[in-house]
Structure 1
Amino acid sequence: MRDPADAGIREAVAAWSRTPPERLAGIPLEGWSYEVTSVRPDGVRALVRAELRYRLAGYDPAPAGAAREVELARDGAAWRVTADRPAPGAPAQPWDQGPVTVVRGEHALVLGVGRPAAELSAIAGEADRAVPAASAAWPRDWARRVVVLVPASLDAMAALLGRPAAEYRGMGAVTTGRVGAGPAPADRVVINPEGYAQLSAAGRDVVLTHEVTHVATRAATSASTPQWLSEGFADWAAYRGTSATPAKAAPALGRAVRRGELPGALPSDAAFAFGGDQEAMARAYEGAWLACRLVAGRWGEAALVRLYEQAGREPLPAALETVLGTDLPGLTRAWQEALRNELG
């Protein structure tokens, strides 16, 4: 039989959680609910672990989730919620960091904390350009809408992602979300306000289009998709239609090639890990972009899109044979030749 105190605590959380707090009034929320997973009463106080489920109306195809810790105090014979925070080790939500300013664009919903409204409006405009650019590169069905989170600082960004701030230093933005078929409700573009501020207008367009492309391709991305293809495709989409040349957009790899350090293989997944050697990571991203640029140029843009889809369904060697009629050594040799010609 369940402890009466446990039942009372659960009922108090259920009643309290039926309506989002007033401070969230400007955020287009629906389906807001807490599912209690554990209860730990301690005299006149109690701690509850719960899973918050909600949608951003018009943007999330399925509920997003967040692990929460709810604190309660006994108020006479009843229980009253006194605090609600991220569960230990869980990422924060934007509203945990302060009042949220909401800016809507044509294709974007921007949620900012501690940032000027004019800055958020500018980011909404940039995201509105990024969504059609990503759609042009990825002519498949996707929501064609994006949620952008703009925290107050690099440390606040790291708290939203649940990772150390050092991993994101110098980066303009990242994308959250799980890989695999089906809806990815938690897919968000998260801005690093410090790194983003250092970018030119053209650089911001490239960064946002890259990240939005990850959102667009999420359902076609799986554990079998190599990182060079995922990151290279996103960069290819971002540079597509611009005047970017290999010499201009791949400076780190260009320096290596001119030193005689031609890569022996396409970039490994480990080469894209956050927090590593920045120069090596830059070479990995640049090499991935040039590999996708090669595929689009030699086999066609439609073939690059099909390769991305196929590589999410089967191992890369099989996908290369099915879509391009080549193998990994053949693609690698063609890529190396392109690097010599364009960067040497």
Structure 2
Amino acid sequence: MAGRRRVPKHGVVVLCLLLTSLVACGGRPTATDTARADVQRVLDRRAAAVLDRDEAGIAETGTASWFEDVSAVPLASWAYKVTGVHRTGATATADAELRYQVQGYDQAPVTVARTVDLSLDAAGQWYVKDEKPARKAPQQLWDQGEVTVVRGRHSIVLGVGQSGERLHSFADLADHAVPAVSDAWGTTWSRHVVVLVPRSLQAMAGLLGSPASSYRGIAAVTTGETGAPAQAPADRIIVNPDAYGLLGTLGRQVVLTHETTHVATRADTTAATPLWLSEGYADWVGYRGTGRTPAEAAPELAEAVSAGRVPTALPSDADFGFDGSASGLAMSYEGGWMACRMIADRWGEAKLGEFYRAVGTHEKRPGAVEQAMDKVLDTDLKTFTAAWREYLRDQLD
């Protein structure tokens, strides 16, 4: 038939000989091809030993010194998935995904990228020499040292380089924050939090995979994907111990309650939610019931308003960037808080929560706030902004 060529039998033999270094004829894998499967088996054994708290079993698969660092963390699961192996003779580097769950807190596995260095032992078995975060991947807390664990009624606090007394203080703050958030937002969330307290600002940045300069002066951040489903892994509240230590008692509580609010609202916070609303609402919950006046809680904005510099528009997402001035960033947070406070004052706290959820249901950012204002608050953005500016003058001037 036209276009078809008959391959001589000896051609098949030659082809097979050429491919024997990769795959034997008949599809049987060679020793090179089995490296990935062999490494996967070793890491499977290692993961099982971690879950069983079997240090001897871990040692059979490689170095076990790091196990002391993670041994106190309550784990519901721990598993590796090898995604690639780069072998050079008797050594290899494996790319892997580590999936783990903190027992009682993570509804689904947290997935992190890891790099595993291995070598062949005298028996020809792969042996783990080192495991570390993959390039550009964030550290895990146990990468920074031995983890100490403190449990609260509604929280678990994991720390490195911190005293048990200090970690208990964070558990107390979190245990106060969880019911306070539920009272404002409702109880349709996990109602518990995971708090990580690293040794320093630099260590905090390592957990976030970002430069330390990005978080200087920021007391805490909450990790997690916006719009995450209910079964998503628990968020982590990561504390900057350097900045946190400068806060007073009330400030510490406001910060933990603010971050806990982000955990509670995560499923209803989407790409359609502007930062003035998500950050403003978290501050509103944080200050709720504290008795702090607007002038006390929003000093930068109060100074600007008193000087006749009333903002002309609600803060944009760009206004919340860390690369601007500290006073400008503070004014953005304070402006969002005052907008949410105004909604609670004029429309009621229930309407504020309803408005927040309504914004998050919109598919895209454009039109989300406007549609929710029309539906929930019976107003429009122009009228709302004018009312907000007047509210600032009334409350802060």
After TM superposition, the score normalised by the length of structure 2 is 0.85
One-letter amino acid matched to 1:132: P
* Corresponding position: 1:18 with 2:48: yes
* Corresponding position: 1:282 with 2:330: yes
| Aligned residue among 310, 321, 335 for 2:374 | 321
* Corresponding position: 1:184 with 2:237: no
2:8 aligned residue: none
Contact 1:6 1:41 in 2 (8 A): no
Contact 2:77 2:109 in 1 (8 A): yes
Aligned ranges 1:42-191 → 2 under 5 Å: 42-76=88-122, 77-182=124-229, 183-191=231-239
Q: Secondary structure at the match of 1:122?
A: helix
> 2:213 & 2:289 partners in 1: Cα distance?
33
> 1:85 & 1:199 partners in 2: Cα distance?
34
> 1:67 & 1:6 partners in 2: Cα distance?
17
Deviation at 1:42, TM superposition (A): 1.3
Aligned ranges 1:258-269 → 2 under 5 Å: 258-269=306-317
* Corresponding position: 1:5 with 2:51: no
**How many pairs were matched up?**
344
One-letter amino acid matched to 2:295: A
One-letter amino acid matched to 1:35: K
* Corresponding position: 1:252 with 2:300: yes
CA offsets, 1:129-155, max 9 Å, x none? 111111111114001100000000000
One-letter amino acid matched to 2:355: L
Q: Secondary structure at the match of 1:17?
A: helix
* Corresponding position: 1:331 with 2:384: yes
Contact 2:141 2:207 in 1 (8 A): yes
Deviation at 1:184, TM superposition (A): 3.4
> 2:216 & 2:190 partners in 1: Cα distance?
30
One-letter amino acid matched to 1:326: T
2:73 aligned residue: 27
Larger radius of gyration: 2
CA offsets, 1:100-150, max 9 Å, x none? 000000011000000111100111111111111111111140011000000
Deviation at 1:276, TM superposition (A): 2.4
| Aligned residue among 289, 299, 302 for 1:241 | 289
Mark the CA change 1:305 to 1:285 in structure 2 (over 3 Å): closer, same or farther: same
After TM superposition, the score normalised by the length of structure 1 is 0.97
2:256 aligned residue: 208
Q: Secondary structure at the match of 2:150?
A: strand
> 2:48 & 2:92 partners in 1: Cα distance?
19
> 2:281 & 2:327 partners in 1: Cα distance?
20
One-letter amino acid matched to 1:86: P
Contact 2:194 2:234 in 1 (8 A): no
Q: Secondary structure at the match of 1:19?
A: helix
Q: Secondary structure at the match of 2:310?
A: coil
CA offsets, 1:166-193, max 9 Å, x none? 1111121111101014033151100100
Q: Secondary structure at the match of 1:185?
A: coil
Deviation at 1:44, TM superposition (A): 1.1
CA offsets, 1:297-332, max 9 Å, x none? 100100000011010011111111111111111110
> 1:7 & 1:51 partners in 2: Cα distance?
15
Deviation at 1:14, TM superposition (A): 2.4
Contact 1:47 1:71 in 2 (8 A): yes
For structure 1, which segment, 13-22 or 129-138, has the greater mean C-alpha deviation from structure 2 after superposition?
13-22
Between the two proteins, what is the percent identity of the paired residues?
Answer: 52
Contact 2:105 2:192 in 1 (8 A): yes
Unaligned stretches of 5+ residues in structure 1: none
Q: Secondary structure at the match of 1:18?
A: helix
> 2:338 & 2:180 partners in 1: Cα distance?
19
* Deviant stretches of 4+, over 4 Å: none
Q: Secondary structure at the match of 1:143?
A: coil
Deviation at 1:8, TM superposition (A): 2.0
> 2:135 & 2:176 partners in 1: Cα distance?
37
CA offsets, 1:76-109, max 9 Å, x none? 3111111111001000000000000000000110
| Aligned residue among 281, 293, 296 for 2:344 | 296
Q: Secondary structure at the match of 1:263?
A: coil
One-letter amino acid matched to 1:150: V
For structure 1, which segment, 265-274 or 206-215, has the greater mean C-alpha deviation from structure 2 after superposition?
265-274
Contact 2:193 2:234 in 1 (8 A): no
One-letter amino acid matched to 2:36: D
Contact 1:166 1:275 in 2 (8 A): no
Contact 2:36 2:84 in 1 (8 A): no
One-letter amino acid matched to 1:130: A
Contact 1:180 1:220 in 2 (8 A): yes
Greater relative contact order: 1 or 2 (C-alpha under 8 angstroms, separation 6 or more)? 1
Contact 1:6 1:39 in 2 (8 A): yes
2:354 aligned residue: 306
Contact 1:168 1:275 in 2 (8 A): no
